[in-house]
Structure 1
Amino acid sequence: MTHTLKLLRLVLFFSLIFPLKLAAEDGYRLWLRYDLLTDQQLLNTYRTQIKGWQLKGESASLQASRQELSLGLSGLLGKQIAEVEIVDDATLVAGTVASSSVIASLDLGEQLSTLADEGFLITNTRYQDKNIIAIAANTDIGVLYGVFHFLKLIQTQHALTHLNIQSTPQIRHRVLNHWDNLDRTVERGYAGFSIWDWHKLPTYEDPRYTDYARANASIGINGTVLTNVNANALVLTPQYLEKAAALANIFRPYGIKVYLTARFSAPVEIGGLQTADPLSPEVQAWWNSKVSEIYEYIPDFGGFLVKANSEGQPGPQNYGRTHADGANMLAEAVAEHEGVVMWRAFVYSEDEPDDRAKQAYNEFKPLDGSFKDNVLIQVKNGAIDFQPREPFHPLFGAMPETPLMMEFQITQEYLGQGTHLVYLAPMYEEVLRADTYAKGEGSTVAKVIDGSLHNYNTSGIAGVANIGTDRNWTGHIFGQANWYAYGRLAWNPQLSSEDIAEEWIGMTFSNNEAAVKTIKSMMLNSHEALVNYMTPLGLHHIMGAGHHYGPGPWVKKMPRADWTSVYYHRADEKGIGFDRSKSGSNAVAQYFPEVAKKYGDPASCPEKYLLWFHHLDWDYQMASGNTLWKEIALHYQKGVDSVRQMQQHWQNVEGKIDAERFAQVKAFLEIQEQEAVWWKDACLSYFQTFSKLPIPEGVEKPEESLEHYQNLSFPFAPGIRPRW
């Protein structure tokens, strides 16, 4: 890197940390806003508690820690805090036993032994009769994680006394999946183009790449898959491996490994072979050679993410082989380099099934125990496709001999896309805390994916990224909260949505008590609001075709029945809902008996999943005493009313946060309110053609005719999947 480029990066970096007061707050800094604390009393307290700091060591990760600590403390405390050689009272000391003589002299061995490679310890202690704060870890990257956590304590105005924080990640591979294409379009992306400027790489390294790494490291994400699961084999060619290596070099100090998507047919498409059969010796040799080549470019390459035999993607079944055959071939190729293969379980065959929700279980359950040790099966949170709400996937708990990793969607493909305020941590939490009963009560999904339930040899979690070239990274300011929440839950799946929201608000907007309370209330209620105005009571997959934008319960003319809406809601003159009970597809049988019994009976099935598992009459009596038709209508209206309440609450924070971000969110809430009404009106108008019942009292009548909603067209909606 040239001296000029280094200087440019440093100038930009400082400008982000210490922006001119006249500059607009555009959201670029995410939650890493190190602005001067406005509470003078608290500021004075912190200044007396941190008079100097010491962080020795020359590794790239320790240098990143040093830079972050210097920038953070100077920004938050409003003056340059000196890095000291001699430890004095009120000194912060950070490091490992190997890098810091001070840390080595402290009696921290027992505590450090519980932290593994990435954990950290923050504690008040004594050194040579002086009071100090120690950030200690077993590795340099653990120190960096500890530094970010310590700065968060100050950002969120926590006391720096009586500290005894021990934190270690519960999941090993904490990965972002970028659905970014080599032409810089982003499938299901709603924040601009891909941040990877392949044309300018590897020569020009955009400073944004470093800020991306900082943001991810601050929440414990340690891996990134650069390219779309609908893969392009060109990314495995030297031209692109050189570019990926440049990114890996930037990410490495921040503990982030690079992964790539492997197109299964690459040996044919770029290798000149006549087959991609995983049992073919020449195919195996090709992949072994390709993997060796990749590791020459990227010595710490993480491995492959694979989508195979799903939605037209090639895979081992093209050659009469199993998913295990395909995954194991790649796993053997990366094994000696300690790489992993993340093999997606989002599959459905060309033959239309009686119930697509059953396919992944049917294909993967029989293969349990047949995968190599370095294969993780990546399973979506639900069995259909990232719907606003789904019951947890029945595969969780069903494969005790095979590590399963969670796949959440952070980008809001089915949740209002780029303009709806929807805090997804409650949805993630709902899934993670769901009880599979795989080993009796308490066998939660979280315990499956962290490996503790079945003693997996490794563990993983993936989030489909919502990051793009928009200045604020995620399009919607509150989209940042979902990126943040994913990272925090990937580190510790037991964290609560409320605690994560409080952290993010304090770091992103304000620690003003009234503002935090108001914004937190909006966030915690936002997911339920969206479910109500889109897919209440277990309805699912009723969005517009292709672009997935807006309502489309009438969609029925598609190449496959299971790509239509009518396949899933099955509305008729009698009632509505997909019967997955014993009398229907019997998908409930894929769950353990305790769960199957609960979901299989309408009387015990949680109402939020009712129409997912049951086709019920329009006059079916709900727990409220209302008929099903009335209850559906009231839920749609409740969703609309909730958005209007969010608008009122947001108005109350005017003046408590910056004007720029306030105005953007206010405008987006107006769009959300309009589209919530659109969803309500379009869906109720369509379903009314079957129920033949009037719109109930208390529910606003549709503003337009059904034909109006059916004729709306969105040929250029963002995020549409490319067709190669």
Structure 2
Amino acid sequence: MAGYLVKADSEGQPGPDTYNRTLSQGANLFARALHPHGGVLMFRAFVYNDNMNESDWKADRAKAAVEYFKDLDGQFDENVVVQIKYGPIDFQVREPTSPLFANLYQTNTAIELEVSQEYLGQQCHLVYLPPLWKTVLDFDLRVDHKPSMVRDIISGQRFNRTLGGWAAVVNVGTNRTWLGSHLAMSNLYAYGRLAWSPTDDSEQILKDWTRLTFGQNHHVIDTIADMSMASWPAYENYTGNLGIQTLTDILYTHYGPNPATQDNNGWGQWTRADHNSVGMDRTISNGTGYTGQYPEEVARLYESLETTPDDLVLWFHHVPWTHRLHSGLTVIQHFYNAHYAGSEAAHGFIKQWESLKGLIDRERYEAMRSRLVYQAGHSIVWRDAINNFYYNMTGIPDVVGRVGHHPWRIEAESMRLEGYQTYTVSPFEAASNTTAIITTSNSTTGTARTTIKAPSGVYDIGVNYYDLYGGQSKWTLSVGDKLVGQWLGDMEHQSLGHTPSIYLDGHSATRITFHGVVVRQGDQLKIVGEANGVEPAPVDYVVLLPPGVVD
């Protein structure tokens, strides 16, 4: 063992401040005990007030790291390394570089990355992370107007420090894949590679890993590289873009969509979204002053709305929904477009992976295909939840006419129900048309019927339903007099592995799709759901998808 990692005074937990001591005094207490043994003390900079007042326009959790640590520069012993998260909040889908890297001249620092995808799909969504990490590692903070790449600061090179380092939050477990997904291990491999050689190219690292993991076939290597390199932009698109953060449920599982949880609490991950405008004003001139924590050149870049890049505009500025980005789109239209584009990209991953059938052993092929199918379905949940939430908030329609219009869907509550009843889902955006159906008790069977009005043809039929923790409902789907398929709500016992939910919400919402179903106009479509445990066989909607349609 090389030393210890300490988390203190963070998220309401005790630390040096509890005993009227500074953070540096607390770190040095451990460091001095380790020093005779050559030990290193890693001290996390993840310290902030978790009970902030949102009504205070100047309050800003993002400022915490610099506020707590800057004045302690030079007071940490030489065998202490301050471990700094890549961004100032908490492993979001995109954050600016933490300004603390530019404020510790006389202190050893390390960067903290996340392999475990806590906010980024929890390995159930393919998200290759090095391109995200590179936005920070390669960022030039221009300290004292000199080249100051983050990678050179944490190595000790830029400020001539004795130590530097890398750290990653990793959830290696007993799963045979280590991380729960056959493609997620690329992130752990890439973390190790970058820690030794941070200038390495993300895609080349990925191809090296793929070659070591799946063999020498060029089509396999190129396909996995194409999918993986597109995965972070896709996830950013269908979750939270323009720097608004990952719009997940920060109060519950950190997994599915729930944008309302970002605001109206003390955690400080605010979006400050209302009917007219959105975003955190972090400027010196009118906001929290966060931009002033950066060196002059970087501060000037982010202080100006005109020079702030679109992908971080809502991180640094509070703007009207109708504000036009450098792209020419309004903020709200960018939201709509990005969420549709991200979901379409996730659906494309399935076909790319299917092109590898026979080139990868059956076990890994099938396991990864099931995850990609799940991700495609959950990307629709994300897409609709975020778009519906902000459409409801702003009243501004999608100029393309997609948001709120789903001509191929059959809402479950519109069907003829026996043993089923309607249920208003919360948060409202986690259900199509805000409503689902559940069985009238947790020990009965429900039936939902409808007459198909769509033209006769061959369709993919998707059923959006909810798979809750604590029950294993059974469903069957039939069209006309033919059984199309049946399935079990046992996601918590399968190998997906994300944090489960006991509610009908964006975490438990999912989809199953049956391909190539022959449908005649006038056929009866029937779903039979058998409740089990706390899971009342919930159904949101059915969708008949013509070839090439994603909805």
**Separation in structure 2 between the aligned mates of residue 305 and residue 512 of structure 1, nearest angstrom:** 42
Corresponding residue to 1:547 among 248, 253, 262:
253
| Aligned counterparts, 1:138-153, within 5 A | none
Q: Deviations over 1:279-323 (max 9, x none)?
A: xxxxxxxxxxxxxxxxxxxxxxx1110010111221010111110
Shift of 1:519: 1.3
The structure-2 alpha-carbon separation of the partners of 1:714 and 1:381, relative to structure 1 and needing over 3 Å to count, comes to: farther
Corresponding residue to 1:579 among 259, 281, 294:
281
The structure-2 alpha-carbon separation of the partners of 1:535 and 1:507, relative to structure 1 and needing over 3 Å to count, comes to: same
Which residue identity does 1:330 align to in structure 2?
A: F
Query: Is the aligned partner of 1:655 residue 2:358?
Result: yes
Which residue identity does 2:303 align to in structure 1?
A: G
Shift of 1:430: 1.5
Query: Is the aligned partner of 1:457 residue 2:195?
Result: no
Corresponding residue to 2:141 among 420, 427, 436:
436
Query: Is the aligned partner of 1:535 residue 2:240?
Result: yes
Query: Is the aligned partner of 1:628 residue 2:328?
Result: no
Corresponding residue to 1:398 among 100, 103, 115:
103
Which residue identity does 2:302 align to in structure 1?
A: Y
**Separation in structure 2 between the aligned mates of residue 388 and residue 444 of structure 1, nearest angstrom:** 21
Which residue identity does 2:341 align to in structure 1?
A: K
In structure 1, the residue matched to 2:428 is: 707
What secondary structure sits across from 2:49 in the alignment? coil
**Separation in structure 2 between the aligned mates of residue 315 and residue 653 of structure 1, nearest angstrom:** 52
Corresponding residue to 1:570 among 272, 285, 288:
272
What secondary structure sits across from 2:103 in the alignment? coil
Shift of 1:392: 0.8
Which residue identity does 1:309 align to in structure 2?
A: D
**Separation in structure 2 between the aligned mates of residue 541 and residue 359 of structure 1, nearest angstrom:** 20
Q: Deviations over 1:377-427 (max 9, x none)?
A: 000000000011111111012101001101001001011113111111111
Corresponding residue to 2:25 among 317, 322, 325:
325
Shift of 1:351: 5.2
In structure 2, the residue matched to 1:305 is: 5
**Separation in structure 1 between the aligned mates of residue 335 and residue 3 of structure 2, nearest angstrom:** 46
Query: Is the aligned partner of 1:685 residue 2:388?
Result: yes
**Separation in structure 1 between the aligned mates of residue 35 and residue 21 of structure 2, nearest angstrom:** 21
Which residue identity does 1:361 align to in structure 2?
A: V
Which residue identity does 1:320 align to in structure 2?
A: N
Is the Cα–Cα contact under 8 Å of residues 381 and 392 in structure 1 kept in the other structure?
A: yes
Corresponding residue to 1:619 among 322, 331, 335:
322
Which residue identity does 2:235 align to in structure 1?
A: L
In structure 2, the residue matched to 1:469 is: 174
| Aligned counterparts, 1:69-108, within 5 A | none
**Separation in structure 2 between the aligned mates of residue 612 and residue 350 of structure 1, nearest angstrom:** 19
In structure 2, the residue matched to 1:341 is: 41
In structure 1, the residue matched to 2:371 is: 668
Q: Deviations over 1:215-240 (max 9, x none)?
A: xxxxxxxxxxxxxxxxxxxxxxxxxx
| Aligned counterparts, 1:231-242, within 5 A | none
The structure-2 alpha-carbon separation of the partners of 1:308 and 1:493, relative to structure 1 and needing over 3 Å to count, comes to: same
Query: For this pair of structures, how many residues does the alignment match?
Result: 417
**Separation in structure 2 between the aligned mates of residue 434 and residue 714 of structure 1, nearest angstrom:** 42
Q: Which 5+ residue runs of structure 2 have no aligned equivalent?
A: 54-58, 412-424, 435-465, 471-491, 501-551
Which residue identity does 2:267 align to in structure 1?
A: D
Q: Which has the higher strand share?
A: 2
The structure-2 alpha-carbon separation of the partners of 1:306 and 1:713, relative to structure 1 and needing over 3 Å to count, comes to: farther
Corresponding residue to 1:593 among 296, 301, 316:
296
In structure 1, the residue matched to 2:70 is: 365
Is the Cα–Cα contact under 8 Å of residues 397 and 403 in structure 2 kept in the other structure?
A: no
Shift of 1:505: 0.7
What secondary structure sits across from 1:662 in the alignment? helix
Query: Is the aligned partner of 1:383 residue 2:383?
Result: no
Is the Cα–Cα contact under 8 Å of residues 408 and 428 in structure 1 kept in the other structure?
A: yes
In structure 1, the residue matched to 2:216 is: 511
Q: Deviations over 1:110-155 (max 9, x none)?
A: xxxxxxxxxxxxxxxxxxxxxxxxxxxxxxxxxxxxxxxxxxxxxx
Shift of 1:624: 2.3
Q: Deviations over 1:191-231 (max 9, x none)?
A: xxxxxxxxxxxxxxxxxxxxxxxxxxxxxxxxxxxxxxxxx
**Separation in structure 2 between the aligned mates of residue 323 and residue 713 of structure 1, nearest angstrom:** 44
Q: Which has the larger radius of gyration?
A: 1
The structure-2 alpha-carbon separation of the partners of 1:304 and 1:648, relative to structure 1 and needing over 3 Å to count, comes to: same
Structure 2 length-normalised TM: 0.72
Shift of 1:645: 1.8
Identity %: 37
For the aligned residues, what is the CA RMSD?
2.2
The structure-2 alpha-carbon separation of the partners of 1:640 and 1:441, relative to structure 1 and needing over 3 Å to count, comes to: farther
What secondary structure sits across from 2:260 in the alignment? coil
Is the Cα–Cα contact under 8 Å of residues 113 and 169 in structure 2 kept in the other structure?
A: yes
**Separation in structure 1 between the aligned mates of residue 498 and residue 378 of structure 2, nearest angstrom:** 18
The structure-2 alpha-carbon separation of the partners of 1:603 and 1:557, relative to structure 1 and needing over 3 Å to count, comes to: closer
Q: Which has the higher helix share?
A: 1
**Separation in structure 2 between the aligned mates of residue 670 and residue 680 of structure 1, nearest angstrom:** 15
What secondary structure sits across from 1:503 in the alignment? helix
| Aligned counterparts, 1:105-504, within 5 A | 258=1, 302-349=2-49, 352=52, 354-504=59-209
Structure 1 length-normalised TM: 0.55
The structure-2 alpha-carbon separation of the partners of 1:576 and 1:460, relative to structure 1 and needing over 3 Å to count, comes to: same
In structure 1, the residue matched to 2:514 is: none
Is the Cα–Cα contact under 8 Å of residues 541 and 568 in structure 1 kept in the other structure?
A: no
What secondary structure sits across from 1:536 in the alignment? coil
Q: Which 5+ residue runs of structure 1 have no aligned equivalent?
A: 1-257, 259-301
**Separation in structure 1 between the aligned mates of residue 256 and residue 50 of structure 2, nearest angstrom:** 27
In structure 1, the residue matched to 2:415 is: none
Shift of 1:689: 2.2
Is the Cα–Cα contact under 8 Å of residues 647 and 666 in structure 1 kept in the other structure?
A: yes
Is the Cα–Cα contact under 8 Å of residues 598 and 604 in structure 1 kept in the other structure?
A: yes
**Separation in structure 1 between the aligned mates of residue 118 and residue 271 of structure 2, nearest angstrom:** 19
**Separation in structure 2 between the aligned mates of residue 418 and residue 458 of structure 1, nearest angstrom:** 32
Shift of 1:439: 4.1
What secondary structure sits across from 1:346 in the alignment? coil
In structure 1, the residue matched to 2:449 is: none
